[in-house]
Amino acid sequence: MNDLQPVSILLLGDDEVGKSTFLSRLALLRGKDGLRGGTVSPPPLLRDEDQPFVVELRTRSAAFRLEFSDTGSPRHWRCQPPPDVVVLCYDISRRATLISLQTHWLREVRTTFQHCDRMPILVLGLKRDLRQANDPADTLYPHEAYNLAQQLRADMYLECSASSGELLAQVVDDICRRAVQTTTPEGGQSQGACSVM
């Protein structure tokens, strides 16, 4: 276990945007079939004492312990050591949660973490399965969220549904890949424009 290099990933966003369900799905990574198992069963119950959710990742040259936490963890997130990666989360079916990333959460990250100019910040749209299920006027489309992610100077824009499993494996892969890049001399920030998954 000591050979694993820790990389911390903090999910931030308004209440009820889907962070807990997303983190609960990480438990499937430890399962026999992983996220690509084919069927999507209900996620295990998320408990604060289970955080951080750990995903072990081994490459040819190194081994990593990716530690995922969210704002619902037992210790307040501002009191924890600065993370290596921040993932700003919003609910695709609720426009106000995306606006909150711009008006509240990005400012919180910048004032709380002094090294945020070197920290990768990703924007993650959750509850993709609810797109247009609620009020169509309140639903966000990828181009709108991607444009805001660019305005926020985010390093990457992603979206998925933890509930249905749609794009979940790809999003976890992309977050893990970006997290591992933070351990290299080049760092995990994108070069220039925000990339989209």
Per-residue pLDDT of 61-87, as tens digits, reads 788 888 888 876 545 777 778 899 999
Q: What is the pLDDT of residue 10?
A: 92
Q: Which fold has domain 5-196?
A: Rossmann fold (3.40.50)
Strands (DSSP E) contained in 75-176 are 85-91, 121-126, 156-159
Domain ranges for the chain, please list them: 5-196
Q: Find the mean pLDDT for residues 105-123.
A: 84
Q: Find the mean pLDDT for residues 101-127.
A: 87
Q: Find the mean pLDDT for residues 164-175.
A: 88
Per-residue pLDDT of 115-151, as tens digits, reads 767 789 999 999 998 876 566 677 788 888 899 889 9
Under a CB-based contact definition with an 8 Å cutoff, are residues 69 and 89 in contact? no
Cis peptide before 52 (omega within 30 of 0): yes
Q: What is the pLDDT of residue 12?
A: 92
Q: What is the pLDDT of residue 110?
A: 86
Q: Is a pLDDT exceeding 60 seen at residue 96?
A: yes
Q: What is the pLDDT of residue 43?
A: 59
Which pTM value belongs to this model? 0.84
**C-beta atoms surrounding 194 within 10 Å:** 20
Q: Is a pLDDT exceeding 90 seen at residue 185?
A: no
Residue with tokens 């797109």: 131
Per-residue pLDDT of 14-68, as tens digits, reads 999 999 888 888 766 555 344 443 445 555 666 667 778 888 877 777 888 888 8
DSSP 78: G
Query: Residue 181 — pLDDT band, cuts 50, 70, 90?
Result: confident
Q: What is the pLDDT of residue 32?
A: 39
